[in-house]
Amino acid sequence: MDNRVTWQVEHYPTLPSTNDYCIEQARLKSKINLAVLTDSQTAPRGSRGRKWVEPTGNLALSFLYWPTFSVKKVGWVPFIASLALYDAITELCGDYPDLYIKWPNDLLFQNKKIAGILIESHVEYPDILEWLVIGIGLNICSAPVVEGREVACLRDFVHTNLPSSLLVSSKIRERLSYWIGCLDQGKELFIRETWLQRSLPMDTSLSVTSSKKIYTGIYKGINKEGFLLLQTETGLKHLSAGELFCLDQYGNK
């Protein structure tokens, strides 16, 4: 049985924020699964309230999804979103050994960020997951200058047949629909195993800021709940949230 999601696609020359537009539609109770693409955002947002700079020619795409799964599964949404993006890039551009997902949902090429995902949701009391918004920003043609961050774009390593934002958007819609179907069907183990195959190499040295504490250790994957496993000097940590940085051989970010 094919229960993949059908998206209503909207494409605008400019929007303040594709995520904000989707949230507005959700609050208007527009019970339609939307995929919203814009050529330019005037007020894009990143995770943890950061401002996001978006050069022209890159991807700004958000989804409004009315879930059929329970709030207990919402923790897997970052994983299926990053898998959809990873799948889209590799299917359109080919496989690259230095392309990884950084927990839970950033994409890195040679430890440089090429894409980020911002997920927002609304839960009706006490535990009904009403809607989800999944925002995806991908550097296709150029990488913004971000202080203290190494950033890359697809053009840095895809030298022929660089896909357009329209083509990438179409492929992400297809793959996100597939991964939502997997989550609906209770295939969290399959999602976890596939995500681990695409994540950072095991035993990568990491620094993780979580609950205002900084942990340094070795990456050991994720557990069955999607928590980050970090082997530290004081034992194995299970982290449910945090900001992660890869460290070089000298312990530098």
What's the average pLDDT block by block, 10 residues per block, for the chain (253 residues)? 82 96 94 95 69 72 95 96 98 93 95 94 89 96 81 90 95 98 96 98 95 95 97 96 80 58
Nearest to 86 by CA among 213, 3, 200: 200
Name the E strands within 39-178.
Answer: 59-65, 99-102, 106-109, 112-124, 128-138
Residue 161 is predicted with a pLDDT of 86
Residue 55 is predicted with a pLDDT of 60
Q: 97-121: string of b/e by CB count within 10 Å (b at 16+)? A: eebbbbbbbbbbbebbbbbbbbbbb
Nearest to 79 by CA among 205, 247, 237, 198: 198
Nearest to 133 by CA among 45, 205, 57: 45
Structure tokens at 226: 């999607």
Helix, coil or strand: residue 17: coil
Omega prior to 104 cis, within 30 of 0: yes
Residue 144 is predicted with a pLDDT of 83
Within 13 A of 60's CA, how many CA atoms are on the CB side? 27
Residue 31 is predicted with a pLDDT of 87
* Phi, psi for 175 (deg, rounded to 5): -75, -35
Note if the pTM is more than 0.85.
yes
Structural domains for the chain = 8-198 (3.30.930.10), 205-246 (2.30.30.100)
Q: How many of the other CB atoms lie within 10 Å of CB of 88?
A: 24
Residue 123 is predicted with a pLDDT of 92
Residue 250 is predicted with a pLDDT of 43
Residue 117 near residue 77 (C-beta atoms within 8 A): no
Residue 202 near residue 219 (C-beta atoms within 8 A): yes
Omega prior to 126 cis, within 30 of 0: yes
Nearest to 76 by CA among 178, 195, 239: 195
